[in-house]
């Protein structure tokens, strides 16, 4: 049986293309099992945070879950949305969850809001991921499922290659709120 020359050349061309494409993807490192976004061990990390009136943040040795320091975040009633606000420079693709260790020293449960942006231009509420987390008194490990992060208005899936901002905040707290954050990390579990 003879294979027509055209099919033979097409087959070899396709095989060569797959070999080259496979080589390109082989050079890309697979996502590590875990990537730390913030550990608060290095004061230079604090430069990546957005500082604003109504929120005070500092390294603290209390309630650290890894390393020596946690980040103490004090949120005051004088601000509308006081809290932790960080610029993100690398995408979150290849990871399944965002985990955050949060210690809540209060006596009653409280709600903490989150906001995640995948655009640089301060997107409106309906074009970013927004949600609420219930914190119990004491140690909490907050887990957000990245594969299901969607915008509030259009239900658009966030582009994990373009994550630009992460915010954890309270809306007009009636009294000062203190939380301790540590080990903001992406995981593959």
Q: Where are the domains of the chain?
A: 31-187
Which of 26, 30, 14, 35 is closest to 99 using CA atoms?
A: 35
The whole-model pTM stands at 0.82
Measured CA to CA in angstroms, residue 68 lies from 23, 60, 62 at distances of: 42, 8, 9
The CA-based dihedral angle spanning residues 107, 74, 63, 147, taken in that order and rounded to the nearest 10 degrees: 90
* pLDDT values of the chain reduced to their tens digit, one per residue, 189 residues: 555 555 544 444 444 434 444 444 444 455 689 999 999 999 888 888 988 889 999 999 999 999 999 999 999 999 999 999 998 888 999 999 999 999 999 999 999 999 999 998 889 999 999 999 999 999 999 999 999 999 999 899 999 999 999 999 999 999 999 999 999 999 998
| DSSP string over 118-163 | SSSS---GGGSEEEEEEEPSEEEEEEEEGGG-B-TTT-PBP-GGG-
d(CA 170, CA 39): 22
What is the model's pLDDT at position 1? Answer: 55
What is the model's pLDDT at position 83? Answer: 95
CATH fold of the domain at 31-187: Jelly Rolls (2.60.120)
SS3 for 29? Answer: coil
Neighbours of 40 (CB within 10 A): 25
């Amino acid at each position: 049986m003879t294979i027509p020359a055209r099919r033979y050349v097409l087959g070899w061309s396709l095989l060569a293309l797959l070999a080259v494409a496979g080589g390109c993807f082989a050079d890309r490192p697979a996502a590590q099992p875990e990537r730390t976004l913030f550990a608060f061990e290095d004061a230079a990390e604090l430069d990546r945070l957005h500082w604003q009136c109504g929120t005070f943040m500092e390294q603290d040795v209390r309630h650290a879950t890894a390393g020596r320091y946690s980040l103490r975040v004090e949120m005051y009633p004088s601000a509308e949305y006081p809290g932790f606000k960080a610029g993100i420079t690398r995408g979150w693709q290849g990871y399944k969850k965002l985990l955050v260790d949060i210690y809540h020293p209060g006596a009653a449960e409280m709600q903490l809001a989150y906001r995640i942006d995948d655009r640089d231009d301060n997107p409106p509420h309906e074009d970013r991921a927004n949600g609420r987390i219930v914190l119990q008194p004491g140690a909490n490990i907050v887990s957000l499922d990245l594969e299901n992060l969607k915008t509030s208005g259009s239900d658009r899936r966030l582009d994990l290659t373009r994550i630009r901002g992460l915010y954890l905040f309270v809306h007009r707290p009636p009294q000062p709120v203190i939380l301790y954050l540590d080990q903001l990390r992406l995981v593959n579990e």
